[in-house]
Amino acid sequence: MILTGLLAVAGCNSTSSQATGCQTEVEASSTWYYFDWMADAPYAPTFRVLDTESSLGPYAEHSKTITLEDLIKMHGHPCDGLVTAACAMSVGLKQLYPNGTIDRTDTCCITNNSPCYGDVAAYLTGGRIRFGTQKIDPSLGNAFILYRVSTGQAVKVSLRPGVFPARVAALENKIRSGDFTVADMRRCQQWQWDYARTLLEKPLDASFQVESLPAFSWEADPYPNAGKRGDVVNKNVEQVTLRNK
């Protein structure tokens, strides 16, 4: 009765709210998508990022913090791919930015074609295909390459062998083949979340390894609609504002 009433107040009904994207009051006021085991995980990564202040620069005076919850909102759902990518990014970006602040005007990324990996890497690095700072390489598998433009430093972060459960990989392949049941899909979902939880319950270095790439050279992939990123052109111009006037 309570759920039905809330749906009615929101102008929805119990059968149409999901199909039509109608938001209920329960959904609007909760973080149902951000599981407690993520929020409370001892090794859940957080990121401090620096951007420019506006569309034509300069650097902002302050950094911002990005959490797993922010990544979920951007990507669309909590999943093992999102957690894997976030953990890998945390390990790799600490190598490029030992002071802890990630410059999203100065970082490039390469991932496989997974929507999870690509979304998280782009969000955390500021890399974009249309500006030549994000690339897709299907051969990378569970690995990520991060590049800092100003220093020329590059690292490769890889999931350690045996960390990803074989039973999850097998069930994922079954579902992708199209020969599966709803029960298979739900089981796979739970197993993926169980795996993601294990990543967040131990030091990230236990699951990921980092390799320095001293000979790496960044070369953007061809893209017919490539453009110049305007908000970073004047990033080093001295900040002038009306704050103190």
Q: State yes or no: pLDDT of 16 exceeds 80.
A: no
Q: What CATH number is given for 32-213 in this structure?
A: 3.30.1330.130
pLDDT of residue 176: 96
Q: State yes or no: pLDDT of 7 exceeds 50.
A: no
- Measured from the Cβ of residue 127, the count of other Cβ atoms closer than 10 Å reads 22
Q: State yes or no: pLDDT of 241 exceeds 80.
A: no
- Per DSSP, what are the bridge partners of residue 109? 134, 146
pLDDT digits 0-9 by tens, 80-98: 999 999 999 999 999 999 9
Domain positions in the chain are 32-213
pLDDT of residue 238: 75
- Residue 9: pLDDT band with limits 50, 70, 90: very low
Q: Is 162 left (phi over 0), alpha (psi -120 to 50) or beta?
A: left
State how far the Cα of 23 lies from the Cα of 74, in Å rounded to an integer: 17
Q: State yes or no: pLDDT of 244 exceeds 80.
A: no
How is 17-34 classified by DSSP, letter by letter? HHHHTPPPHHHHT--TTS
Here the tokens at position 181 are 């049941």
Closest among 51, 54, 55, 59 to 239, alpha carbons compared? 59
Model-level pTM?
0.87
pLDDT of residue 18: 54
pLDDT digits 0-9 by tens, 170-202: 999 999 999 999 999 999 999 999 999 999 999
More confident residue, 24 or 95: 95
Whether 69 and 31 have beta carbons less than 8 Å apart is answered as yes
pLDDT of residue 8: 39
Q: State yes or no: pLDDT of 245 exceeds 60.
A: no
